[in-house]
Amino acid sequence: MPPKANLLIVDDDANTLASLARAFRLAGHEATVCDSAARALELARAQRFDLILSDVVMPGKDGLSFLEDLKNLGVTSPVVMISGQANIEMAVRATRLGAVDFLEKPLSTDKLLLTVENALKLKRLEEENVELRQRLGKHELIWSSEAMRRVMAQAERVAASETRVCILGETGTGKELIARTLHEKSARRDAPFITLNCAAVPAELIESELFGHEKGAFTGAAARHAGKFEQAHGGTLFLDEIGDMPLPMQAKLLRVLEEGEIERVGGDRALRVDVRVLVATHRNLEELVRQGSFRQDLFHRVFVFPLQLPPLRERLDDIPVLAAHFAAQIAAQNSWKPRTFSSEAFAALQQYAWPGNVRELRNVIERVLLLSTDLVDAASVQLALPQLATAFSAGASQSFGTTPAYVGVATGTLTQRVEAFEREVLLAELKRHNHHMTNTARALGLERSHLYKKCQQLGIDLRAARKSNS
């Protein structure tokens, strides 16, 4: 049973009010009832409700006007609409006004209770996400799963020490964020946090990047340059992808870790540095040692406290809070309207294998926002996920169907890429619905007229498209 919630039920039918109130109270909730939208607005102003359930067709102010008034008042309680005279236009308008669901009468008690439970769960996730963002500050590490709780407990224990930490995990799992967290929770938090990706720097330049160089040390060295160790003095240096560091450079790094001194390229004197070194890799360092591509003595220097980050597929409970966080972040960056995710949308996200982990999730959420209007549903997620049919976790349900991978949008300006992606989405949906415009528009959450306009903007010749698929 979900935690007890305080509900407001609005309906002009006394029998409906009585039966709904009884069902919710038996389920452990508190229920306040009223028979008009005007009275409900007074109650919503006076106190906070965890959820509001409202009929659409009522004398005086109808449910949709009531919903709009709630929105204008800044009431953040989730709203579920019910009606015995429902149609698609009514449901679409309710969703655009912020309703989390729309149910038709006669109501199934089981379905109603499940809908309310899901809406309350989504609201709690949104509130938890806000709390997490406030708690974690500038460099946000979003999590709520047991797997990440264990990782963070280990990080808390080692953060305040000078122990060298080796952060292990697949690409995109958030290794740099963990390193930043270790730095911010240490006594060095007010000093610099400097990063270097060892895999991204050419072998001939990595020594200069790490240790700096003197003027004239090599062709193009027009001035003295302070390397990463000097920049990080008093603070933390994070060496990402340490497993990709060339062997000759590994020997020089080992000397610095042992002696606490560096020498600039072209220099003739040692410089003392006070730096805590954190490293990370997606590779198996022990295997690299066996292969001879990673020094065993350096391994023992950096592999003092290994911290293993789980892949996203092993922390499914984090997906809803991460998705909500990224959606809010991306919407704010682009001045887009905030979106709400349905429970089915979260379920679809949780069934994908996420080979690119958290980084891939953020990219997918950005595509989802481009494909959705107010409510993000499972259909929007299906369209945004690449190669959904083959990327599901082993044994996961494939009840959300399949969708093609959208490729061919990796070049050009952002506007060009977005337009190319939208064009592929529209063509795929038109084909899936046999070019039935009403069904295609409904699947994409668009008005039919908007779909025609969008096709025209993107240069989609509907007659030619029909012929090519006939």
pLDDT per residue as tens digits for the range 144-198: 999 999 999 999 999 999 999 999 999 999 999 999 999 999 999 989 999 999 9
Contact yes or no for 141/174 (Cβ under 8 A): yes
Residue 55 phi, psi (nearest 5): -70, 160
Q: Are 317 and 305 in the same domain?
A: no
pTM given for the model: 0.58
**pLDDT, position 386:** 78
**pLDDT, position 283:** 95
Residue 10 has pLDDT above 80, yes or no: yes
What CATH number is associated with residue 335? 1.10.8.60
Q: Give the C-alpha separation, 172 to 311, whole Å.
A: 8
pLDDT tens digits for range 349-398: 999 999 999 999 999 999 999 888 778 988 889 889 874 333 334 333 33
Domain assignment of residue 141, yes or no? no
Q: Are 177 and 302 in the same domain?
A: yes
Q: Are 242 and 288 in the same domain?
A: yes
Q: What is the mean pLDDT of residues 333-338?
A: 86
CA-wise closest residue to 347 among 181, 114, 55, 158: 114
Specify the DSSP class assigned to residue 262: E
Residue 274 has pLDDT above 90, yes or no: yes
Q: Are 127 and 165 in the same domain?
A: no
pLDDT tens digits for range 297-335: 999 999 999 999 999 999 999 999 999 999 999 998 888
237 DSSP β-pair partners: 194, 277
Of 49-58, 68-77, 271-280, 323-332, which has the strongest mean pLDDT? Answer: 271-280
- Among 310, 335, 363, the domain boundary falls at 310
Q: Give the C-alpha separation, 206 to 212, whole Å.
A: 9
Amino acid at 93: R
31-70 core/surface letters (b: 16 or more CB in 10 A; e: else): bebbbbbeebbeebeeeebbbbbbbbebeebbbbebbbbb
Q: Give the C-alpha separation, 37 to 26, whole Å.
A: 25
Q: Are 206 and 105 in the same domain?
A: no
Query: Can you read off the two tokens belonging to residue 189?
Result: 């938090």
What CATH number is associated with residue 172? 3.40.50.300
Residue whose token pair is 């795929």 = 428
Residue 96 has pLDDT above 50, yes or no: yes
Q: Are 336 and 416 in the same domain?
A: yes
Q: Which residue has the higher pLDDT, 194 or 127?
A: 194
Contact yes or no for 12/38 (Cβ under 8 A): no
CA angle in degrees (0–180, nearest 5) for 175-181-186: 130
Residue-averaged pLDDT of the chain:
86
pLDDT tens digits for range 391-440: 334 333 333 333 333 444 445 566 666 777 778 888 888 888 888 888 88
Count how many domains the chain has.
Answer: 3
Q: Are 193 and 299 in the same domain?
A: yes
306: left (phi over 0), alpha (psi -120 to 50) or beta: beta
**pLDDT, position 2:** 43
The residue segments making up the domain with residue 103 are 6-134
Please compute Rg for the chain using Cα positions: 28
Domain assignment of residue 459, yes or no? yes
Q: Give the C-alpha separation, 120 to 132, whole Å.
A: 18
81 DSSP β-pair partners: 54, 102
Domain assignment of residue 241, yes or no? yes
Domain assignment of residue 1, yes or no? no
- Among 80, 111, 134, the domain boundary falls at 134
CA-wise closest residue to 363 among 342, 386, 395: 386
* Peptide bond just before 386 cis, omega within 30 deg: no
Domain assignment of residue 10, yes or no? yes
Q: Give the C-alpha separation, 99 to 77, whole Å.
A: 10
Q: Are 152 and 264 in the same domain?
A: yes
Domain assignment of residue 377, yes or no? yes
Q: What is the mean pLDDT of residues 39-50?
A: 89
Q: Are 410 and 443 in the same domain?
A: yes
Q: Are 440 and 454 in the same domain?
A: yes
**Three-state SS at 166:** strand
CA-wise closest residue to 358 among 313, 328, 395, 317: 313
Contact yes or no for 306/155 (Cβ under 8 A): no
Q: Are 222 and 269 in the same domain?
A: yes
206 to each of 121, 185, 245, how far by Cα in Å? Answer: 49, 29, 9
- Among 310, 327, 360, the domain boundary falls at 310
Query: Can you read off the two tokens belonging to residue 133?
Result: 């963002």
What CATH number is associated with residue 78? 3.40.50.2300
Chain centroid, CA 295 distance in Å: 37
